Amino acid sequence: MTLPPLDSPQWDGSLKAFAFGLRATSATILSVVLFVTFIGIGALAHDTHFSMLWAILSTVLVWAGPAQIILVSTLGSGQTILQSAIAVTMSAIRLFPMVVAVLPLIRGPNTKRRHLVLIAHLTAVTLWVECYRFLPHVPRERRIAFVHGLGSGLMAVALVATIIGYLLAANLSQTFGAAVLLLTPLAFLFSTLRNARELADVLALGLGLVLYPVAAQLNSGVDILISGVVAGTIAFGAHKWRERREAA
């Protein structure tokens, strides 16, 4: 999908920008990935004996694939609410930097914090990745409406998939169940790699992959956080070091 030029009259009005955002959902392979990921989540929720309403609410209110997978599998394996909550909180920490990184792309000089509440809720890995791709082609004063459209479109895709996955679950064999669950790491790995522009991004991804199994040996309950901060900091340090060397 090609968006109109930044100064085009087609951008007049928030409703049009919302519609462009909604339509952008159909222009990305990540919608397919999202669809299949949430089929997996719906199926997992069914297999761990949660209700359909539970699965629907988890997609709409949690709106973070990895967190939902962690929540369903920890609760399903009989861990306490506290342990699940800690595991989910740790996986959700990455939403903090995502929101922090997305908002400056969207905020204009007159934007109030309350205008951004819905965007903060819609922010998750797919939206984060797509904002970097689409927003340079959207006029700044229309970005809030555009992202509202993009986010609601993505959520609608995920919601339909959750329901289909839940209904399919009874018929999914173990092999296909495994195939659906493997989609999540494959899709997230390649979409992040595709959008990695700087050395720091690639390094953070690679080091994060390699360091997690090491950190997991600690069995601290916050292993993902430890490997993430260490890998991210090294990647950032390497980037700064190279920047300084090039400047010198």
Partner 1 sequence: MSDFIGDWHALFVLLVAGVIPNQIWRLLGLWFGSGLDEGSDLLMWVKAVATAILAGVIAQILVQPPGALASVTWGLRYGAVVAGLAAFLASRRSIFAGVVCGEMVMLAGKWWLG
Give, as ranges, the residues between 36 and 65 that touch partner 1 (CB under 8 A). 44, 47, 50-54, 57-58, 61-64
Q: Round to whole Å and give the CA distance between 82 and 222.
A: 14
What x-and-dash track marks residues 151-190 binding partner 1 by CB under 8 A? -----------------------xx-xxxxxxxxxxxxxx
Q: Minimum CB separation from partner 1 for residue 24, in Å?
A: 16
How many residues make contact with partner 1 (CB under 8 A)? 102
The interface with partner 1 within residues 191-220 (CB under 8 A) comprises: 191-194, 196, 200-201, 203-213, 215-216
CA distance linking residue 199 with residue 67, whole number of Å: 27
Instruction: Give the footprint of partner 1 on residues 57-116 (CB under 8 A).
Output: 57-58, 61-64, 66-69, 71, 73, 75-76, 81, 84-85, 88-89, 91-101, 103-105, 107, 113, 116
The CA–CA distances, whole Å, from 158 to 17, 74, 85, 213 equal 22, 21, 23, 30
In the bound state with partner 1, the residue whose beta carbon lies nearer, of 58 and 162, is: 58
* Residue 25 contacts partner 1 per CB under 8 A: no
Contact between residue 57 and residue 186 where contact means Cβ atoms under 8 Å apart? no
Alpha-carbon distance of 189 to 160, in angstroms, equals: 24
CB 162 within 8 A of CB 55: yes
Question: Kind and range of the H or E element at 230?
Answer: helix 223-247
Q: How far is the CB of 158 from partner 1 (least distance, A)?
A: 14
CA Rg, the chain, in Å? 19
Q: By rule CB under 8 A, what string of x and - marks binding of each residue 3-22 to partner 1? A: --------------------
Place of tokens 């300084």: 244
